[in-house]
Structure 1
Amino acid sequence: MPAPWYARVATTAGRPAVLAATLIMSMPGEYHVAKLAGWSDPWAYGMPFSLSAYAGIAAVVAATRPKGARGRASATVGAAFAIVLALAAQVVAHLAATGHMDADQAWLIAVTSMVPPAVLAHLLHLAATPDDGTSPSTSVDTEETTPLVERVEQEQQPAPAIPPQPSQPPAPQLPPVPQPVQPPAPIVYRDPRCAAIRPLYNGGTRPGTAAMRDALLAAGHGRVGDSTIRGVLRAEVEEHEPTLADYTPAIGSARAS
C-alpha cells in the first residue's frame, strides 16, 4: 500500500528542512572551535563551510560510485572522517562553553589547525581519481581457470569465406496489361422514334427533314409532321449528343431542314 499523502509530503519536504536545520545548528560550534584554535574573523567562518562541504562531497562520492570503483573506498573513509570531525567539533565547543573542558590545550589547537589542509588534500585526491565506470579485476584467466566452453570457442577455426556471387541481371519488365475499355452506356430516348433518326448521323452529316421522314416510315412509325421531326425528335437526339448539332447539313437537305 502506498504511504499517505501527508507522509510523502513530510518525507519530501522534511529532508531538506532537516538538512538546513542541522547545518545551521552545527555552524556555531564549528565556528567556536575555529576561534579557540586561533582563527580570527572572518576566517573562522570558513570552518563550518569546509566541514559541511567536505562531508557532503565525500558522502555523495561514496554513495554514487559502484563497488570496486576508483576513489570509492577513499570517499567512504573521508565521509566517516567528516562525521567524526563534525561530532568532535560540536562536543569540544559545548564542553568548552559550559566549562567542562579547558580549550587552551596545545593538542586541541594543533588538531583543529590541521582540519582545513587535510580536507583540501582529500578533496583534491577525490577529484584526481574520477570514476571510469570499470571495476578492477582481481584475477587473470589462465588455461587452467578458463571454462571449457570458452576454450572450445577460442579453438574453433573461422568459417571459410564465401566467394561473392555474380550479380544477377535485372528481371525483364513486362508490358502493362491493357485494361478493357468499357463501352458507353446506351442512350435511352424519351421518344423511342429517335432511335430511327440517330443512325442518319453516322455518315458525318446532319440529316435533313426528308431523310428523317423516310427513316421513320421505314421503321414503321408512319407519317410524322415536319415540325415534330425537327423540333421534337431531332432536338432530343442532339440534346443527348450536343456535338451532332455542329455537323454539316447533308447535301440536298440544307433547304429542307
Structure 2
Amino acid sequence: MAWKKPRTSPPPAGPWYASLATSAGRPAVLGATLIMSMPGEYHVAKFAGWSDPWAYGMPFSLSAYAGIAAVVAATRPKGARGRVSATVGAAFAIVLALAAQVVAHLVNTGHMDHNQAWLIAVTSMVPPAVLAHLLHLAATPTPVVAPSTSVDEQPVVERIEQAAPEVPPMPAQAPAPQLPPVQAQQPAPIVYRDPRCVAVRPLYDGGTRPGTAAMRDALIAAGHGRVGDSTIRGVIRAEIEDHEPSLKSLPATLPLAAGQNP
C-alpha cells in the first residue's frame, strides 16, 4: 500500500482579455519602464564623470542587476543559501534605481546641484558593487527541493490488484437452445442517376419486361410529364437494366404491335 499526494484540479481559467492582459501586458510594461528609466540613470552616470559611451552602461547595470536579484530571491526556497543575500540585493537595486531617477530629475529641474562629492562617490561605487554581488549569487549553489512528505496532506491509498482465485470447472450443462438463423443482409438500395427510373422500376416486379407505352404511362402518373420514346428506352430503361442486367432477359409484357419498338 503506497501513499500518494492527492491531485488538485487546476484553477479555473479567466476571461480571454484577462489572460491577454497578463501575458502581453507584463512584457509591454517591463519594456516601457526600462526605456523610461534609462535617461535618468544615464544622466546620473554623466554627473559622476563617466563619458560616452561608458555612461550608457549604467542603465543596463541597474536594470539587469535588479531583475536578476529579484528572480533569484523569488525562486530560491525559504532558508536556502543566497536567498537573504538576493533579497537584500533586490531591495538595494530598487533603491538605487529609484534614487537615480529622483536625483536626475532634481538636477534637471534645478532643485539640486549635481557637482557634489557624496553623489559622485556613491554613483562610482555602483558598478563594482553590482558585479561583486552578481558573482556571489552565481557562486551560491541552487538547492534541490525534495518532494514534500507532509503528513497534513490527504493520503491516497493505492490498491494492489490480487489474482482471482481459481474456480473449479462447471459441470456439464444442457446445450443452449438453437437460435433462429440470422437473415441475410439486405443489399443496399440502388441510387439512379436519373430519378425517373424510380417510377419505371416497379413495372419489372411482375416478372415481365414493360413496354414503351407502359413506361410512358408510369412516368405521366408519377408527374414527370410526357417523355419521348428514345429517352424512355435509351436512357431510363437502359440505366435500370445496367444496374440489374437480369431484367433484360424477362419476357415482354404484351406482344409488340406491328411497327412498335420494344
Q: TM-score, normalised by structure 2?
A: 0.50
Distance 2:62 2:47 in 1: 16
**SS at 1:84 equivalent:** helix
Q: Counterpart in 1 of 2:124?
A: 113
Distance 1:132 1:95 in 2: 44
User: Which portions of structure 1, spanning 4 or more consecutive aligned residues, are displaced by more than 2 angstroms?
Assistant: 132-135
C-alpha deviation, 1:13, in angstroms: 0.4
Distance 2:74 2:58 in 1: 24
Please list, as runs of the form range in 1=range in 2, the aligned pairs for 1:125-144 lying within 5 A after superposition: 125-133=136-144
* 8 Å contact from structure 1 (residues 69, 134) kept in 2: no
Distance 1:63 1:54 in 2: 14
Two-structure CA RMSD over aligned residues (Å):
1.3
Paired positions, count: 135
Select which of 48, 52, 71 maps to 2:82.
71
Counterpart amino acid of 2:64?
A
Change (3 A) 1:132 1:11: closer
Q: Max radius of gyration: which structure? A: 1
Counterpart amino acid of 1:80?
A
Identity fraction in percent: 87
Distance 2:132 2:145 in 1: 25
Please list, as runs of the form range in 1=range in 2, the aligned pairs for 1:176-187 lying within 5 A after superposition: none
Distance 2:62 2:13 in 1: 37
Distance 1:73 1:132 in 2: 14
* 8 Å contact from structure 1 (residues 23, 52) kept in 2: yes
Select which of 39, 50, 64 maps to 1:39.
50
Q: Counterpart in 1 of 2:64?
A: 53
Please list, as runs of the form range in 1=range in 2, the aligned pairs for 1:22-37 lying within 5 A after superposition: 22-37=33-48
Q: Unpaired runs of 5+ in structure 1?
A: 136-257
- Is 1:62 matched with 2:73? yes
C-alpha deviation, 1:134, in angstroms: 6.5
- Is 1:86 matched with 2:97? yes
Distance 2:15 2:70 in 1: 30
Q: Counterpart in 2 of 1:239?
A: none
Q: Unpaired runs of 5+ in structure 2?
A: 1-11, 147-262
Q: Counterpart in 1 of 2:15?
A: 4
Distance 1:11 1:67 in 2: 27
Distance 2:44 2:142 in 1: 35
Change (3 A) 1:103 1:12: same
Q: TM-score, normalised by structure 1?
A: 0.51
Counterpart amino acid of 1:105?
Q
Distance 1:7 1:69 in 2: 34
Which is richer in helix? 1
**SS at 2:120 equivalent:** helix
Please list, as runs of the form range in 1=range in 2, the aligned pairs for 1:89-108 lying within 5 A after superposition: 89-108=100-119
**SS at 2:50 equivalent:** coil
